[in-house]
Amino acid sequence: MATDDVTAPAAAADRAEWLRSRIRYHNERYYADDAPEIADADYDALVRELAALEQEHPELAAASPTAEVGAGALSTAFAPVTHRVPMTSLDNAMEDAELVAWGERVAKGLDGAAVRYACELKIDGLAMSLRYERGRFVQAATRGDGRVGEDVTANVATIVSVPKVLPEVDGLPEVLEVRGEVYLPIDAFERLKAAKEAENAERIAAGRKPDPVPVNPRNAGAGSLRQKEPSVTASRGLAFWSYQLGEVVGGPEFTTHAETLDFLRT
C-alpha cells in the first residue's frame, strides 16, 4: 500500500510532463511553423488527458499549457499585435454529460435566474480580429496566445468577404473590433488539393521531391492566411465569418450576445 502511495503521484507527474511537452511541441508546429503533424481530435485528446490529471492532482497544474489559449511562441514572419480585449477560446464538450454539467454550472452561477442560450454553427478556421476605425478596416490580427497575436492585415485585406468600408448605419462605433474565423471553404480546399497533387505529379516525374498535400481545410486555411506574400493568400479563396465583438468605442450598448449578432448582420 505504501508503494502505491509513492508511485501513483510520481507516475501522474511523469505522464503530465510528457503530455505538456507533446502539447507544446504541437503548439509550436501549428502556430509558429504552420506545419501541424496531428489531427485536431488527437490534439484535443492530449489536452483533455492533461486537464483530467491536473484536476486530480492540482499541484501539477503550474505553468501548464491547458491555461494557454495558443502557442507560447509566435511566428517571426509577422509583427506582434497586443489585443486591447483578450481573445479567449471556447471550451468543448465531447459527451452529453459534459454539456449538461456545464449548463448546471451556468444556472448555479446565475442563482436560478432564467437562462437563454444563443446557438451557432461552428466554423472551423483561424480565429481573427478585424479592427475598424470610423468604419474603415485598419488592422487584422490572429488570436495568438490570447494577449498578443500577429499582424496579418495585408493578407486579410485580400479576402473578398472582409469589408474594407462598413455600411453607414446609425450608431456606428468610432472603433469596432469584429472577431470571427478565417476559413477555407470546402470547394476552395478541393481545388487547392487537386492543384497540389497535379504539381507533385510533375515534380515526381522530374525526379524531385513532392511537396506536402493539404490534409484538411482548417490547416490549409491557416497556412494560406499566413503566407509571406499576400498574392498567394489572395489566390486561395479564403472567406471570413464573424461571430463576436471585441473592443467597441462609441455606438450602441449590447446586453446579450444575440444583440451583437443582430448588429453584425447589419
Q: Which pairing describes strands 80-82 and 148-150: parallel, antiparallel, or unpaired?
A: antiparallel
- Separation CA 81–CA 86 (nearest Å): 11
CB 151 within 8 A of CB 78: yes
CB 165 within 8 A of CB 135: yes
In the chain, how long is the greatest CA-to-CA distance? 73
- Of the residues 122, 164, 196, 209, only one is catalytic, namely 122
* Look-up of cell digits 507560447: 72
Annotated catalytic residue 196 = no
* Look-up of cell digits 491547458: 66
- Separation CA 26–CA 30 (nearest Å): 6
Cell of 120: 451557432
Residues acting as catalytic residues:
122
